Amino acid sequence: MAARLVPNVYPSLAGRTVVVTGGNTGIGAAICRAAGGQGCNVVIDFVGDDSPNARVIADVEKAGGRAIAVRADVTRVDDLQRLVDAAVDQFGRLDVWVNNAGVETRSSLLEATEAHYDLELGVNLKGAFFGAQVAAKRFIKQRSRGVIVNVSSVHEDWPMPGNAIYCCSKGGMRMLARNGAVELAGHGIRMVNVAPGAVRTPMNAATLDEPKLAEALEEAIPLGRVSSPDEIASVVLFAASDGASYLTAETITVDGGVSHESPGL
């Protein structure tokens, strides 16, 4: 499916400042582009390869937003705080924080190493937990009703044999949204998970680039196809918008029905 910009259907997001962790590739880049289409100011977090940054920034600006890229390792709290500071320094405030950065080693319980565990739990869960913390502290300081959106996975609730650490990390994100949202509700802060199923991203390239595996996956999805990153981005923006103002402590599953059909792929 060709990339597309989300139409400007969330007017409440115009002018708001959004931080997207893991924002220069995959679902993160789609979220940044879609936020640009809503007139947002976007802080694109990245670690490692900076070559996609110029293209994503150009796409955000072409769509009507503003953007900067900031190198920050989400496993380091000081780096997460640097993302907050960059948003405030460049755009004056922070309104939406998207915990999107994620990694996957596809390790089973018996095969997993301590290094695998530390990597996945560090990026997927520690990064989301402390990302939510630094964002929430900034919202409270601003006296504003901020939103935290966690890009989780169907595997926050659905086992995937052979991918034990990833499932544990996403299961932790499930409870982060529930517990964190209840704690923060009194400050007017919402926290919502968006849980994709199979998405056409670099993380899934090994499956999607193998015709037989890709065919088996698509056959297992009731809608008959893998999602595009843009389809996930549109749900993230809805969750962040005032259209979802009464939605918190919940997960929106966006999986084409796969978690209700397949035994796991």
pLDDT of residue 52: 98
Band the pLDDT of 162: cuts 50, 70, 90.
very high
Residues 40-71: pLDDT tens digits? Answer: 999 999 999 999 999 999 999 999 999 999 99
Query: What are the structure tokens assigned to 64, written together?
Result: 């009507």
pLDDT of residue 265: 44
The answer to the question of residue 246 being in a domain is: yes
73 touches 47 (CB < 8 A): yes
CA–CA separation, 124 and 90 (whole Å)? 27
The answer to the question of residue 2 being in a domain is: no
Task: Tell me the sheet residues that pair with 18.
Answer: 42, 96
Sheet holding 250-254: strands in order across? 66-71, 41-46, 17-20, 96-99, 147-151, 190-196, 250-254
Sign, CA dihedral 142-129-228-157, equals negative
Query: How many folded domains does the chain comprise?
Result: 1
Is 264's pLDDT higher than 50? no
259 or 8, higher pLDDT: 259
CATH code of residue 245: 3.40.50.720
The answer to the question of residue 257 being in a domain is: no
What b/e readout covers 129-162, taking b as 16+ CB neighbours within 10 angstroms?
bbbbbbbbebbeeeebebbbbbbbbbbbebebee
The answer to the question of residue 3 being in a domain is: no
What 3-state class would DSSP assign to 148?
Answer: strand
Distance linking the first and last C-alpha atoms of the chain: 21
Residues 95-136: pLDDT tens digits? Answer: 999 999 999 999 999 999 999 999 999 999 999 999 999 999
Residues noted as catalytic: 166
Full domain range(s) for residue 228: 11-251
pLDDT of residue 201: 83
33 or 5, higher pLDDT: 33
Is 94's pLDDT higher than 60? yes
